Amino acid sequence: MLDFRLQAGVKRTKLSSRSKGSLRMAKFLSQDQINEYKECFSLYDKQQRGKIKATDLLVSMRCLGASPTPGEVQRHLQTYGIDKNGELDFSTFLTIMHMQIKQEDPKKEILLAMLMADKEKKGYIMASELRSKLMKLGEKLTHKEVM
């Protein structure tokens, strides 16, 4: 087996098990996703040290379209032994984003919400009832937004 890195003048370095895990997770993301995640990560890496504060994880994930709860973010941090005052590197951030996106299923979440709203178990809800719930629950929407 030929190691092309040696011919290119790149030194071989042994990867930590954490880095190897992150590389495995990163292979499930497209290059466009990785670039988008890196851009967002860089916005929160205020000191440009390649790390973001654990307290910025929730908002950075939401900026990228994920919908983690504070509890889910806490579990992700605990998985990597990071406390609320800690920091995480980009590799760990990629892995956490991959895990979060993998567990989210918007279609399933919408179906469950509809089932919960269908108290009479008819298999449907009235449009007026849906509008009312959209305007009152969660991120409150205006009448114009739900029309």
Q: What DSSP assignment string belongs to 89-136?
A: EHHHHHHHHHHHHHH--HHHHHHHHHHHH-TT--S---HHHHHHHHHH
pLDDT of res. 19: 45
Q: Is 95 in the same domain as 25?
A: yes
| Domain co-membership, 38 together with 95 | yes
38 vs 135, residue with greater confidence: 38
Same domain, 96 and 123: no
pLDDT higher at 92 or 12:
92
Are residues 91 and 113 located together in one domain of the fold?
A: no
Residue 68: how many CA atoms within 13 Å on its side-chain side? Answer: 25
Q: 79 and 34, same structural domain?
A: yes
Please count the structural domains in the chain.
2
Q: Is residue 82 domain-resident?
A: yes
Rounded distance between C-alpha atoms, residue 91 and residue 23, angstroms:
7
Q: Which of 124, 118, 123, 74 is nearest to 96 (CA)?
A: 74
**The pLDDT of residue 12:** 39
Model-level pTM?
A: 0.60
When pLDDT is averaged across residues 44-59 and rounded to a whole number, the result is 96
Domain span holding position 128: 106-146
Give which of 67, 60, 19 is closest to 41, Cα–Cα.
60
Per-residue pLDDT tens for 4-41?
333 334 333 344 444 444 455 556 788 899 999 999 99
CB atoms within 10 A of CB 144: 6
Q: Among 11-15, 52-56, 59-63, 95-99, which is the least confidently predicted range?
A: 11-15
Token pair, residue 22, equals 């992150």
pLDDT of residue 76: 95
C-beta separation of 76 from 68 below 8 A: yes
Asked whether 124 and 118 are in contact (CB, 8 A), the reply is yes
- C-alpha to C-alpha distance for 60 and 44, rounded to whole angstroms: 7
My answer on whether 44 and 84 are in the same domain is: yes
- What does the pLDDT average to over 57-71? 93
Identify the residue whose tokens are 């590389």: 23
